[in-house]
Amino acid sequence: MLSPRERGRYMRQLELLDDEGQERLKAAHIFIGGAGGLGSPVAIYLAAAGIGTITIVDRDMVDQTNLNRQILHVDRDIGRDKTASAEEHLRAINPDITVRAINATIRRENAADLVGSANGIVDAMDNFGTRYLLNDIALAHRIPFFHGAVHGFYGQATTIIPDTTACLRCIVPAAPPKETTQVIGATAGVIGSLQATEVIKYLTGRGRLLANRLVLWDGMQAKADEIVVERNPDCPACGDRSPHKRRHT
Amino acid sequence: MTIKVRFFAQFRELFGTDILTDAPPDGMFISLIAGIAHSNPEGYNAIFDKNGAFLEFVILMKNGKRIDNSDAAATTVADDDDIAVFPPVAGG
């Protein structure tokens, strides 16, 4: 049941989502891996939309060089844990939700515990090693996985529904080399907003998800292309001979 | 000029947007992309390794279907094919 206060807060989206949709957001628990360029807009929009519980995990402290894009953090946060400033910022945006900000490195040993009972995993990481790990956790626990990545003016996003769509390894079988990427903050804003929109659509059962579709955003051309993707039967993460398949069949 | 090759992300900066071209004489996918890439040494090195094989992370698509990089050397192209080549972006 929505309180009068919540009814006021969400008035301008209640006609889009109905009470039932808003209640679903309130009951949801979303895990966000990373409180950086992508994690910032994702967390801000999901907090503002009324996602009941947000777990956000990061291991870094705020650095001055983060501030062109990581809009959860501000100048006075330099030197603080990103999780501390993220929690403070998200609570200020919406005090009616629960924010669990965890200062940790996401590793194979702790990933499942960190994700816990989340209804969705948002990929806001900056490396494919951890992305593949979260992809594995999503597959193992059949949790939707909202992928996003950015570079410069470019970005990509897709929504992975375990056992239904291509997984991240089907789409990106090999990680590109690690690099310190240049990123325009607004590019992370575009892709993070796409990811947050997908989460809200998934939770409320609205619209057409980015399932088996990889959006490629080109900010230089102001153009979005769509690549149709499909499951790879030989995928090491979700294919017919993968540990995931053997576990679930 | 019957095959469309689309580059995305950083590859678009190196090679431009949609390229319309003929099939290469040997009709092979890898020859098609190498032929375009040779126009730009920096671009070539972003797509191919020193042995002339596709770098493993480069994503190759033909008519909406992924081509496994290990199959690329044996993949042919034909009139009206729609080819996409792009690197996954990795930042967050």
CA atoms of A148 and A195, how far apart (whole Å) = 7
Average pLDDT over residues A184-200: 98
The domain of B54 spans: 3-86
Residue A67 has pLDDT above 70, yes or no: yes
Give the per-residue pLDDT at A180.
78
| Alpha-carbon gap: A59 to the closest alpha carbon of chain B (Å) | 14
**What pLDDT does B1 receive?**
59
B28 found inside a domain: yes
Q: What is the CATH number of the domain that holds B16?
A: 3.10.20.30
Q: What is the pLDDT of residues A141-187, one digit of tens each?
A: 999 999 999 999 999 999 999 999 999 999 999 999 887 789 999 99
Q: Nearest CB to B92: which of A38, A220, A221?
A: A38
Which string of b and e fits B23-62 if b means at least 16 CB within 10 Å? bbeeebbbbbbbebbeebeebbebbbeeeeebeebbbbbb
Q: How many contacts (CB atoms, under 8 Å) link A and B?
A: 86
Chain B residues in contact with A69 by the CB 8 A cut-off are: none
CA B87 to chain centre: 10
Residue A173 with chain B: CB contacts under 8 Å: 56, 68-69
| Torsions phi, psi for A74 (to 5 deg) | -125, 175
Q: Is the pLDDT of residue A52 over 90?
A: yes
Q: What is the pLDDT of residues A199-212, one digit of tens each?
A: 999 999 999 999 99
Is B27 contained in some domain?
A: yes
The pLDDT value recorded for residue A243 is: 78
- Judged against a pLDDT cut of 80, whether residue A94 lies above it is answered with yes
* Burial of residue A136, with CB atoms counted within 10 A of its CB: 0-12 exposed, 13-18 middle, 19 or more buried: buried
Decide if B8 contacts A225 (C-beta within 8 A).
Answer: yes
Distance CA B11, CA B46 (A): 8
Q: How many angstroms from the chain centroid is the CA of residue A118? A: 12
Residue B91 maps to a domain: no
For chain A positions 172-191, those within 8 Å of chain B (CB to CB) are: 172-179, 181, 183, 188
For chain A, which domains are there?
4-248 (3.40.50.720)
Position A178 scores a pLDDT of 81
In the prediction, which pLDDT does A110 show? 98
Report phi then psi at B80, rounded to 5: 75, 5
* Residue B66 belongs to some domain of the structure: yes
Q: Give residue A249's pLDDT band: very low, low, confident or very high (50, 70, 90).
A: low
> Taking all residues of chain A, what is their mean pLDDT, rounded to a whole number?
96
- Please report the pLDDT score of residue A112 as a whole number: 98
Mean pLDDT of A117-131: 97
- Return d(Cα B83, Cα A17) in angstroms, integer: 39
List Cα–Cα distances, A187 to A114, A154, A157, A195, in angstroms: 28, 7, 12, 12
Bridging pattern class, strands B59-62 and B82-86: antiparallel
Structure tokens given for B65: 């279907």
User: Would the CB atoms of A156 and B88 count as touching at under 8 Å?
Assistant: yes
Residue of A nearest to B54 (CA): A174
B84 to chain A: closest CA residue: A227
pLDDT interval class at A20 (50, 70, 90): very high
Residue A195: pLDDT above 80? yes
> Which residues of A fall within a CB distance of 8 Å from B66?
229-230, 232
- As for how many domains chain B has, the answer is 1
Q: What percent of chain A has pLDDT over 90?
A: 94
Dig out the tokens for A63 from the structure: 């650095």
Identify the segments of chain B with pLDDT beneath 50: none
